[in-house]
Amino acid sequence: MKHKAVAILIIVLSLISGASAQNNIVIRGSDTMILLGQRCSQGFSRKSQQANFTIQGGGVKAGLEALNAGKADIVQSENAIPGAENATKVPAGVQAIVVYVNRSNLVTELSTSQVRGIFMGEIQNWKQVGGKDEPIVLYAGESSTGILSYFQESALKGEEPYPFEGKSSTKSLLETIASTPNGIGYAAPGFDPGTKTLRIKNDAATPGVDATLDNIRGRRYPLSRYVYWYIRPNRSSKTAEFLLWFFSSEGQITVESVGFEPLLPADRTQALAKVEGKKASATTSAAK
């Protein structure tokens, strides 16, 4: 009788352990996206207290290795990456680099090559880009989304920038440029009445695009890109529930809270349909 009771206890504990494992959600990947994973875990946990999250950085490569070994459920990455054929790739949000100048500046738009020239030190006077005969003063604003590395990769083609004065946040950068008539800087989307955003164009022959939220979220603005989640194919029901929440309006507000822009409703619908293996036209819950 005693042995039978022990056997039953072992079975019960095994079932409890299995159920607990089903509630585990492991998010790994890029260090600059850790905050997104943390905020999302906090937001979802307020709705589902049974979820047990582990959020880790360590890089995308290590994250994918863990995912392929069944030790991670979601891998966060700023870029589309090779070697992830076994995972489902979906956009998680939009990242943008907005270029700011003082409101009194005569310049209203720049090409991407001019932006590069300015921050490489090749263009050092505003008159070279249609402004006054004044020296250009360079600034950059860091954020939780890794805006400096994105700018170096995208605008500077991987090269080291000309010396600039770094600011700890978008707010700090905007306040500085508002008080610096010859200043220019880049950061995440923000607002200060003493500054203005520059239209950006891909080349001299194309029209400039304003850095409005609609243009950024629709990726018409040249200095914008998706950031991605790579999702384990044999995911648990709790992970599936989490993803449904993430692509809802509530989940995307969390994306916005850490400095990324949320996905458009159509993008959310398509992403969730891809996760669920359905046709996008048949899925509407993500856009609600």
For 5-37, letters b (16+ CB in 10 Å) and e give: eeeeeeeeeeeeeeeeeebebbbbbbebbbbbb
- Measured distance CA(56)–CA(65) in Å, rounded: 13
At 277 the pLDDT is 81
CB 34 within 8 A of CB 27: no
Q: State the pLDDT at residue 249.
A: 94
pTM: 0.85
* Domains contained in the chain, CATH given: 2-93+226-287 (3.40.190.10), 98-217 (3.40.190.10)
pLDDT at 21: 63
What pLDDT sits at residue 287? 47
**Inter-residue contact 110 to 198 (CB < 8 Å):** yes
Listed as ranges, residues in the chain with pLDDT below 50 are 6-19, 281-288
For residue 200, give the 3-state DSSP assignment: strand
Residue 252: exposed, middle, or buried by beta-carbon count in 10 A (0-12, 13-18, 19+)? buried
Assess contact for 229 and 75: CB atoms under 8 A.
yes
pLDDT of residue 11: 41
Residues 234-284: tens digit of each pLDDT = 889 999 999 999 999 999 999 999 989 999 999 999 999 998 886 554 344
- The residues that bridge with 184 in the sheet, in sequence order, are 101, 138
